[in-house]
Amino acid sequence: MHELAIKYGCNPHQKPARVYNKNGELPITLLNGTPSFINFADALNSWQLVKELSEATGLPAAASFKHVSPAGAAVGIPLNDTLRKAYRIEKEDLSPVAAAYARARGADRLSSFGDFVAISHKVDIDTATILKTEVSDGIIAPDYDDEALEILKSKKRGTYVIMKMDKAYTPVDIESRDIFGITIEQMRNNAIITKDSFNDIVTDNKTIPSEAIRDLIIATITLKYTQSNSVCFAYDGQVIGCGAGQQSRVHCTRLAADKADNWMLRQHPRVLSMQFKEGLKNPAKDNAIDLYLRDDITDAELKEWEALFDVVPQKLTALEKKQWIQSFEGVSFSSDAFFPFRDSIDRAAVSSVKYVAQPGGSVRDPEVIDACNTYGMAMCFTGLRLFHH
């Protein structure tokens, strides 16, 4: 297949639209559904992420994308009982591929509503069974088990988008884009991120354990395919908070840190023991938990929220939230460009960050290093800026 007509571009009035490969056949086989322009943008970005993440870690990888940025990304590490309950996974012995997607989807369930999924390995029955219950627009993967494919084809009344990616496909080195009738081009971002990317540790604390290196790899590769400015928090083999597309780096940090805090708080025993009304669907439960964790809930929202429960849960106090977040030790934090001020480090410390990666190169690097030393963090300079637009 050399090209494929698309119903319209980003918006219904943007016609005509198509996808094609200027250098040969498309490396994508469409197995089901009618993908949109945005579906293809999500698919092509998310595939690169999971392919690189799997190659860097040696584990199956998955990503949950929305509007060309990852809501979550993860590798296939088994889920403990707490995470299985928080992610609403009933099966105890998930396959590594399914565990990777459960983690990616669980990073930020509100943002992942209606996601586009990328899987680095063959999609199996466990993965398809999880996806069957989630609101999702489509998936890209190198292959599918026959039964898994049939499960996925039944989604969205048979319209679920399913793409098969040629794993051997390698793009040309130069990529281009037209903006306002003008073509700009560049060498594609072929930077390779490995454990050796984090060797230049510039803080007093020089110790970054292997699990934290893995999480820094996850966070940093995720940033490579996140709309900039961006920062990313990772823990236990998965993204737990990603702040994308903000003009100020500290705003990225606040956004990502708030998401990371919510990820931790969703595992609090009081959240896990919530008694929802019979028949309440997962998206409604996710929204209810989000309202529960918010401090700025209105009276009208409170009334609607209380109606969702058989037993209305007692709200967590600010102190209880702080203590619970501090019980998570060793969160990793990566930035796609240098920190211009120490404010991002100060905010990250509140969310249990212990390990930091950034390119370095700011005139205020000494001030940022001092901030890390104050909190006992280990920070490395990668020397690699990862802006993505």
Q: Quick check: 61 and 50 in contact, CB under 8 A?
A: yes
- The DSSP 8-state label assigned to residue 198 in this structure reads G
The H-or-E segment that residue 190 falls in is none
Question: Per this entry, what is the length of the chain?
Answer: 389
Catalytic positions are: 66-67, 229, 389
The pLDDT value recorded for residue 304 is 87
> What pLDDT is stored for residue 1 in this prediction?
60
Residue 355: both structure tokens together: 């390990």
242: burial class by Cβ within 10 Å (0-12, 13-18, 19+)? buried
Predicted confidence at residue 64, as pLDDT, reads 98
Give the span between the Cα atoms of 202 and 39, in whole angstroms.
Answer: 41
Residue appearing with tokens 């840190």: 257
DSSP string, 288-317: HHHHHH-S---HHHHHHHHTTEEEPPPPPP
Question: Cβ(96)–Cβ(115) under 8 Å?
Answer: no
Q: Is the fold of 3-170 the same as that of 269-315?
A: no
Whole-angstrom CA distances from 353 to 24, 237, 340, 379 are 46, 15, 18, 10
Cα distance between residue 113 and residue 108, in whole Å = 9
- Tell me the CATH number for domain 269-315: 1.10.287.440
Q: In sequence order, what DSSP letters do the residues of 147-176 get, joined into one string?
A: HHHHHHHTGGGGT-EEEEE-TT----SEEE
Residues 6+ apart with CB under 8 A from 368: 339, 341, 342, 345, 358, 362, 379
Task: Give the burial class of 211: count Cβ atoms within 10 A of its Cβ; 0-12 exposed, 13-18 middle, 19 or more buried.
Answer: middle
- E-only strand ranges, 33-105: 61-66, 69-75
Query: Which one is the CATH code of 3-170: 3.40.50.1370, 3.30.420.10, 3.20.20.140, 3.40.140.20?
Result: 3.40.140.20
Look at residue 310 in the predicted model and tell me its pLDDT.
87
E strand spans, the chain:
3-6, 17-20, 28-32, 61-66, 69-75, 115-119, 136-141, 161-165, 174-179, 182-187, 230-235, 238-244, 275-276, 309-311, 331-335, 353-358, 378-381
CA geometry: angle 154, 111, 137, nearest 5 deg = 25
* Domain spans, the chain: 3-170, 175-265+324-381, 269-315
352-385 as b/e: b if 16+ CB within 10 A:
bbbbbbbbbeeeebeebbebbbebebbbbbbebe
Domain 175-265+324-381, CATH homologous superfamily name and number: AICAR transformylase, duplication domain (3.40.140.20)
Tens-of-pLDDT digits for all 389 residues of the chain? 678 889 899 999 999 999 999 888 999 999 999 999 999 999 999 999 999 999 999 999 999 999 999 999 999 999 999 999 999 999 999 999 999 999 999 999 999 999 999 999 999 999 999 999 999 999 999 999 999 999 999 999 999 999 999 999 999 999 999 999 999 999 999 999 999 999 999 999 999 999 999 999 999 999 999 999 999 999 999 999 999 999 999 999 999 999 999 999 999 999 999 999 999 999 999 999 999 999 888 888 888 889 999 889 999 999 999 999 999 999 999 999 999 999 999 999 999 999 999 999 999 999 999 999 999 999 999 999 999 99
